[in-house]
Amino acid sequence: MLPIKKLYIDSKFRTPNSKSTSSFTIDVKESLTMPDNAMFFIDDVIIPHSWYLINANNNKLFLQVFGSGSQPANKSYILELEQGNYDGHGLANEIKKKLKDIPPPNLYADFLS
């Protein structure tokens, strides 16, 4: 039996003419010549995934505020959050920033000041 050889392929080492991270070409540093009838196996595949908590598909926050007493009448707001990853405080700050960005009269001035 021939010795086992492992070849690691990572898209981050793709050639500049590669189309994308899922359609790529690599340059192998050494040639592996195998005898006739050699068998090859893929024994492990790692497909990392990463995506933003807030992305283009879920970046809108719809608010409906109902006025009462001396407060203004009902208002609707759509806040478009920046794409990215947030912890609890970061998301709260992003929402607060977007509330302040609404032109007057706005929710922040009316209800949260």
For the four alpha carbons of 96, 99, 104 and 110, in that order, the dihedral sign comes to negative
78-97 pLDDT, tens digit per residue, is 899 999 988 899 999 999 89
pLDDT tens readout for residues 30-59: 787 778 888 788 788 777 767 778 988 999
Report which secondary-structure segment, H or E, holds 63: strand 60-65
Q: Report the Cα–Cα distance between both ends of the chain, in Å, rounded.
A: 76
